[in-house]
Amino acid sequence: MPSTSALFPRNFCKKYPVAVRGDACWIIDQDGRRYLDASGQAAVVSIGHGVAEIGRAMAEQSSQLGFAHTTQFHSEPAEKLARRLLTLAPPNFRHGGRVYFTSGGSEATETAIKLARQFHLESGQSERYRVISRRQSYHGSTLGAMTVSGNVARRAPHQPLLAEWGHIAPCFCYHCPFGKTFPECGIACADDLSHFLDKNDASSVAAFIFEPVVGATLGAAVPPDGYAQRIAEICRSRGILLIADEIMSGMGRTGKPFAIQHWNVEPDIILVGKGIASGYAPLGAVLVAARIVDAFERGSGIFQHGFTYQAHPVATAAGNAVFDYIELHNLFDHVQPAAEILRTELSVLQSHPHVGEIRGLGLLLGIEFVKNKSTRQPFPKKDTIADRIRQATLDENVLTYPTQGCVDGEHGDHILLAPPFTISPSECRLIVSALRSALQKVFPS
Question: Contact positions toward ligand PLP, by CB under 6 A?
Answer: 42, 104-106, 109, 138-141, 211, 215-216, 245, 247-248, 273
**In this chain, which residue has its C-beta nearest to ligand PLP?**
105
Tell me how far apart the alpha carbons of residues 88 and 252 are, in angstroms, rounded to a whole number. 10
Looking at residue 372, what DSSP letter applies? B
CB of 390 to ligand PLP, least distance (A): 16
Q: What is the Rg, in whole angstroms, of the alpha carbon atoms belonging to the chain?
A: 21
- Give whichever of 221 and 326 is closer to ligand PLP, judged by the CB atom: 221
CB of 257 to ligand PLP, least distance (A): 16
- Give whichever of 226 and 282 is closer to ligand PLP, judged by the CB atom: 282
CB of 107 to ligand PLP, least distance (A): 7
- Give whichever of 141 and 194 is closer to ligand PLP, judged by the CB atom: 141
How far from chain centre, in Å, is Cα 352?
28
- Give whichever of 217 and 320 is closer to ligand PLP, judged by the CB atom: 217
- Give whichever of 103 and 118 is closer to ligand PLP, judged by the CB atom: 103
Closest CA to 234 of 194, 195, 261: 194
Tell me how far apart the alpha carbons of residues 105 and 248 are, in angstroms, rounded to a whole number. 9
CB of 274 to ligand PLP, least distance (A): 6
Q: Is 32 helix (H, G, I), strand (E, B) or coil?
A: coil
Phi-psi region of 55 (alpha: psi -120 to 50; beta: other; left: phi over 0): alpha
Question: How many other C-beta atoms can be found within 10 angstroms of the C-beta atom of residue 52?
Answer: 7
- Please report the sign of the dihedral spanned by the C-alpha atoms of residue 375, residue 343, residue 319, residue 314: positive
- Give whichever of 283 and 398 is closer to ligand PLP, judged by the CB atom: 283
HSE toward the beta carbon, residue 210, CA cutoff 13 A: 32
- Give whichever of 247 and 392 is closer to ligand PLP, judged by the CB atom: 247
CB of 292 to ligand PLP, least distance (A): 20
Tell me how far apart the alpha carbons of residues 177 and 218 are, in angstroms, rounded to a whole number. 13
Closest CA to 38 of 379, 296, 418, 312: 418
- Give whichever of 257 and 273 is closer to ligand PLP, judged by the CB atom: 273
- Give whichever of 214 and 442 is closer to ligand PLP, judged by the CB atom: 214
- Give whichever of 354 and 359 is closer to ligand PLP, judged by the CB atom: 359
CB of 116 to ligand PLP, least distance (A): 16
Tell me how far apart the alpha carbons of residues 404 and 219 are, in angstroms, rounded to a whole number. 10
CB of 135 to ligand PLP, least distance (A): 14
CB of 33 to ligand PLP, least distance (A): 26
CB of 149 to ligand PLP, least distance (A): 8
Phi-psi region of 274 (alpha: psi -120 to 50; beta: other; left: phi over 0): left
- Give whichever of 273 and 362 is closer to ligand PLP, judged by the CB atom: 273
Closest CA to 277 of 53, 119, 10, 437: 53
CB of 42 to ligand PLP, least distance (A): 6
Tell me how far apart the alpha carbons of residues 388 and 140 are, in angstroms, rounded to a whole number. 25
CB of 216 to ligand PLP, least distance (A): 5
- H or E element, residue 80: helix 76-88
Contact 238, 271 (CB under 8 A): no
Cβ contacts of residue 42 below 8 Å, gap of 6+?
216, 248, 274, 401, 418
Cβ contacts of residue 354 below 8 Å, gap of 6+?
369, 370, 371, 373, 385, 439, 443
